[in-house]
Structure 1
Amino acid sequence: MDRSLHSINNLFAQLGLPCEDHEIDQFIRTHTLFSQRIRLDEATFWTPSQASFIKESLDFDSDWSEAVDELNTRLHA
């Protein structure tokens, strides 16, 4: 299974968000999760469909899980 197509940029595009590097950096600066207790899929800034996609990606170890893990790490830094 080739996961190389699922970069963080492609994840943002999949979520319907701006996906250029500087736009992703701005999103992360704006939405940093300061508590490790907040699960990525439970963050209040997602739409229901975005949260569902993120949750399913993690729960089922989908092709997107590596990109979602990267986003999770960056938002919790």
Structure 2
Amino acid sequence: MDTSKHSLATLFEQLGLASDDAGIEDFITRYSPLPREVALQDAPFWSESQSHFLEEGLEEDSDWAEVIDELDARMRH
């Protein structure tokens, strides 16, 4: 069982995206603000597998849920 604490960097790695600070900030800047009526996992910029990973992480309240929520909050500003 993976007991490591996840971060935005590890989430971005899991999603196959640039996971350094600059890559994360560039992604957030490019796609923000996300409209309130659009769930993070339903945003049009995700691939099907990325969307599924985010949705599953939230629905199952997995150990990824907290960092997915953090990304969601940052995407809304």
TM-score scaled to structure 2, two decimals?
A: 0.92
Q: Residues 44, 9 of structure 1: CA spacing in aligned structure 2 closer, same or farther, 3 A cutoff?
A: same
SS of the equivalent of 2:38 reads coil
Percent of pairs with identical residues: 39
- Does the CA-based 8 Å contact 1:3-1:64 persist in structure 2? no
Give 2:48's aligned residue: 48
Instruction: Give the 4+ runs in structure 1 shifted more than 3 A.
Output: none
Give 1:8's aligned residue: 8
Per the TM alignment, residue 35 of structure 1 is displaced from its structure 2 partner at its CA by: 1.5
CA RMSD of aligned residues (A): 1.3
Letter matched to residue 50 of structure 2: Q
- Alignment size in residue pairs: 76
TM-score scaled to structure 1, two decimals?
A: 0.92
